[in-house]
Amino acid sequence: MLKDNVVQTLTISISELDKRLLANGLVGWRTANGDINAAISSENWGAIERAQNDRASHANTIALIFHKYTDTTTEQGALA
């Protein structure tokens, strides 16, 4: 069992294309977080919604890349 505040390294070998997609996804996700904060400060509900959609899109890209390179078992929902 992991103890609190223990840092472990995760190493995954991914393709060059996926490295670029992952880097763009992380930058986009961080940018969208800043955009959300700015939109909230200005009470711009349309901008909040757009930034939340952008953030979700980038988060999904990041998740898909990690899912592509990690092992899954039938118990985790993989097709048998």
pLDDT in tens, 2-46: 567 777 777 788 899 999 999 999 999 999 999 999 999 999 999
Cβ count within 10 A of residue 29: 18
> For residue 5, what pLDDT is reported?
75
Q: Any idea where the domains of the chain sit in the sequence? A: 16-67
Range 25-34 contact pairs with CB under 8 angstroms and sequence separation of 24 or more:
25/58, 25/59, 25/61, 25/62, 25/65, 26/58, 26/62, 28/54, 28/57, 28/58, 28/61, 29/55, 29/58, 29/59, 29/62, 32/58
pLDDT at 18: 93
pTM of this structure: 0.71
Residue 78 has pLDDT above 80, yes or no: no
